[in-house]
């Protein structure tokens, strides 16, 4: 068994779903890798499918589990659970980044920890699970992966607007508001940003393709760290 096969077997073990190897390979293929290898197929069609599966599973769960919530509240919770930041957090929890096939440039500029790439790949994997194991297994996988987000209402706000949530947490803790520092690297057409946030003795760093994305990633990590300490 090759190293790649072994690594992907470990990934499917974490997912708890048997996924067709070819579909899994396609789900893990980013367009940057496909471009560098002769325009081979990539994961964006599977991502499109997985997005729908994710949305439906989360919508039904929220609707049935929270009869006390109105349409607006349900929509807000759903948006936060399926947001790029939230999905990237889920992807990091299963170590998905290490399995993604990336082009050299994307890989060298931190693509394996880029929120958008992680979230898109997570959706593609859900699409592959649907085609391989059927709708019931795919729905069960979605709910298993997002259960921590569904079970923690405060995390909804943090995933959707981590900077505001961190500022509010700092105020409740009686510490100074968060401060951010930004560094950038890479060519103009492919800039990468790293944000460091400091608040209440906590320091956290996030990366992204924009200043906003990097600050949001840093803020979410700091929010989680502070929340765990409270």
What's the rounded Cα separation, in Å, for the pair 44 and 83? Answer: 17
Residue 44, annotated ligand binder? Answer: no
* Whether the Cβ atoms of residue 7 and residue 98 lie closer than 8 Å to each other: yes
Overall fold of domain 1-158 = Ribonuclease iii, N-terminal Endonuclease Domain; Chain A (1.10.1520)
To the nearest whole percent, how much of the chain has pLDDT over 90? 57
Task: List the chain domain ranges.
Answer: 1-158, 162-228
Average pLDDT over every residue of 51-73? 95
Name the strand (E) or helix (H) holding 181.
Answer: strand 179-185
pLDDT above 50 for 179: yes
Residue 123, annotated ligand binder? Answer: yes
Residue 156, pLDDT score: 61
Average pLDDT over every residue of 116-136? 96
Average pLDDT over every residue of 100-118? 88
Residue 120, annotated ligand binder? Answer: yes
Per-residue pLDDT band for 230 (boundaries 50, 70, 90) equals low
Give the CATH architecture of domain 162-228: 2-Layer Sandwich (3.30)
Phi, psi of 226 (to 5 degrees): -65, -40
Reading the block at residue 172, the tokens are 């409740």
pTM, two decimals, is: 0.74
Q: Which residues are catalytic?
A: 51, 123
């Amino acid at each position: 068994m090759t190293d790649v096969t072994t690594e992907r077997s470990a990934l499917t073990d974490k997912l708890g779903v048997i996924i067709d190897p070819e579909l899994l390979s396609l789900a893990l293929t980013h367009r940057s890798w496909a471009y560098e290898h002769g325009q081979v197929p990539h994961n964006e069609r599977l991502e499109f499918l997985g997005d729908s599966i994710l949305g439906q599973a989360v919508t039904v769960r929220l609707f049935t589990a929270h009869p006390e919530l109105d349409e607006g509240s349900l929509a807000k919770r759903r948006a936060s659970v399926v947001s790029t930041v939230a999905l990237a957090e889920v992807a990091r929890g299963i170590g998905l980044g290490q399995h993604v096939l990336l082009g050299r440039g994307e890989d060298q500029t931190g693509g394996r920890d880029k929120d958008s790439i992680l979230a898109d790949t997570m959706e593609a994997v859900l699409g592959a699970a649907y085609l391989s194991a059927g709708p019931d297994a795919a729905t069960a996988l979605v709910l298993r992966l997002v259960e921590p987000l569904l079970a923690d209402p405060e995390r909804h706000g943090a995933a959707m607007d981590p900077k505001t949530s961190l500022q509010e947490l700092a105020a409740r803790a009686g510490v100074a508001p968060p401060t951010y520092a930004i560094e950038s690297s890479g060519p103009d057409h492919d800039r990468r940003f790293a944000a460091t946030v400091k608040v209440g003795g906590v320091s956290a760093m996030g990366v992204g393709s924009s200043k906003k994305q990097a600050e949001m990633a840093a803020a979410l990590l700091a929010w989680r760290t502070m929340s765990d300490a409270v």
